[in-house]
Amino acid sequence: MKKTFITCSLIALAMSSLAQKMQKPIIDKITGDTTWRTSRERICTKTNFLGSDILFTYALKTKATTLLAFSLINGQGPIIFSINEGNKAILKLKDGKIITLTSLVSRTSDIDFAMIGGIDASSSSNLAFYKIDNDAITVLKNGKIAVIRIETSKGNFDYEIKDRNSEIIGKSLALIIGK
């Protein structure tokens, strides 16, 4: 009985951790405009002997636009890279469709220095915002993503998306589009 309860609790916890959530809206104190945001979700982890690269995403919606944010964490040592205004994020769906998004701002990566047990555990991270139109939202809400490519100053960062994470962006956009 105790084992069954623990197993059921772990399954429920795992399922709830994959659930998309809306964050508390941010209301501008001057204009009164509301910004809606979904929870940040991990959609890919690539691990090798040097460390892990992780890709997170979330959606934002303002009165004027809908944005898709990608947060890249490079755990393979401190690598300085930029995602510049105009760089592309290319999303390839499992059915072969391609969605191309354009970065709105330029950002240089942040560096986190750390030593764990005498081992360099430094990492770098960057956050990029991409405007997304209604046609792309419709395609992503109804599709499954296979690969995401982020253009950076150090070349392309490619992320193969596992099937269990392939609909996270679509679900995030579906949550926010009605706001």
**Domain-embedded: residue 137:** yes
Model confidence at 12, pLDDT cuts 50, 70, 90, reads: very low
Strand partners, 133: none
130: which 2 tokens? 């991409």
**Domain-embedded: residue 14:** no
- Segment 141-153 shows an average pLDDT of 94
pLDDT digits (tens, 9 = 90+) for 63-88: 889 999 999 887 666 677 888 999 99
Range of the domain at 95: 22-177
Model confidence at 3, pLDDT cuts 50, 70, 90, reads: very low
**How many domains are there within the chain?**
1
**Domain-embedded: residue 106:** yes
Strand partners, 40: none
Closest CA to 145 of 71, 43, 46, 70: 43
**Domain-embedded: residue 9:** no
**Domain-embedded: residue 13:** no
Model confidence at 6, pLDDT cuts 50, 70, 90, reads: very low
Q: Among 53-57, 60-64, 78-82, 136-140, where is mean pLDDT lowest?
A: 78-82
The pTM is what? 0.78
Q: What is the chain's mean pLDDT, rounded?
A: 81
**Domain-embedded: residue 26:** yes
Strand partners, 68: 59, 130
User: Does residue 150 surpass a pLDDT of 70?
Assistant: yes
Model confidence at 46, pLDDT cuts 50, 70, 90, reads: confident
Distance, in Å, from the CA atom of 37 to the CA atom of 128, rounded to the nearest integer, reads 15
Extract the runs of DSSP E, i.e. beta strands, from 9-154: 26-27, 34-37, 41-48, 51-61, 66-74, 82-83, 88-93, 98-103, 107-108, 110-112, 115-116, 119-120, 123-131, 145-152
**Domain-embedded: residue 4:** no
**Domain-embedded: residue 162:** yes
- Segment 151-175 shows an average pLDDT of 93
Axis-axis angle for helices 168-177, 134-141 (nearest 10): 130
